[in-house]
Amino acid sequence: MSAGVPKLRVALCGLGEIGQFHLEAINASDHAELSAVCDLDQELARKSAGEAASVHNDISAMLAEVELDVVDICLPHHLHRPVAIEALEAGCDVILEKPMATDLEGCDAIAAAARAAGRHVGISYNQLHFGPHRRLAELLDEGRLGTLRSLYLRLWMGGKYGGWREDSSQVGGGLLMDAGVHRVYTATRLGGPVRAVPAMMDNPR
């Protein structure tokens, strides 16, 4: 961090499994500091906040009470659109966990709010920064692997998701809209834009 440049004041919304990874990254950053946390589980929020960050269970109140530069949103997918737009309208930049929203309309609405507010939105496409994926992309860009004919991406999951992820209205779809999003954006980075989507369904076992 350059001398005299203040750290970005970050609020973290949602302190579940993924939120804890974001929390660790914020606390380790030389460019950001945790200013506030927001979660319905107040015991978890207080435990996660540390000494300096304020604790909230209402996003509107947090935005009104705390001076912030960035709102990091790790909430269920169906909440991305309303919370991101509220944060942008409050003058904050936004980081969103994937997917950006549950549908294209939601993505467009967030993008429009960012343009209107003159703020930025970033999506946590972490697999683009995974070392082997970055190296593979470099080799393809340099033409050192010849002509790309096909990509095979495998999505392996352990036990079934629980909680809100069992409700497709909150997720925006099935597994493809959740963990599968990582495969989609990785494929488009390596292979280019999607031109057609064939689909097959087998018989349930």
Q: Is residue 34 pLDDT above 90, yes or no? A: yes
Structure tokens at 119: 């703020």
Mean pLDDT, the chain, rounded, equals 91
CA dist 23 to 11, 72, 150, 163, Å?
10, 9, 37, 21
**CA 89 from chain center: how many Å?**
19
For range 116-126, the mean pLDDT = 96
For range 9-14, the mean pLDDT = 98
For range 172-198, the mean pLDDT = 88
Among 174, 178, 176, 167, which Cα is nearest to 197's?
A: 176
Residue 118 and residue 18 share a domain: yes
Residue 15 and residue 116 share a domain: yes
Q: Is residue 156 pLDDT above 80, yes or no? A: no
For residues 77 and 205, the model is more confident at 77
Residue 137 and residue 79 share a domain: no
CATH of the domain at 25: 3.40.50.720
Residue 62 and residue 41 share a domain: yes
Last residue within a domain, chosen from 89, 105, 124 = 124
137 occurs within a structural domain = yes
Residue 140 and residue 115 share a domain: no
Residue 140 and residue 103 share a domain: no
Task: Give the pLDDT confidence score for residue 10 in this predicted structure.
Answer: 98
At 96, the pLDDT band (50, 70, 90 cuts) reads: very high
Percent of the chain predicted with pLDDT > 70: 95
Total structural domains in the chain?
2
Residue 173 and residue 135 share a domain: yes
- Determine the structural domain holding residue 175 and report its residue range: 128-191
Residue 149 and residue 92 share a domain: no
Task: Give the pLDDT confidence score for residue 3 in this predicted structure.
Answer: 62
198 occurs within a structural domain = no
Q: Which residues contact 119 (CB under 8 A, 6 or more apart)?
A: 88, 91, 92, 93, 94
Task: Give the pLDDT confidence score for residue 14 in this predicted structure.
Answer: 96
Residue 139 and residue 111 share a domain: no
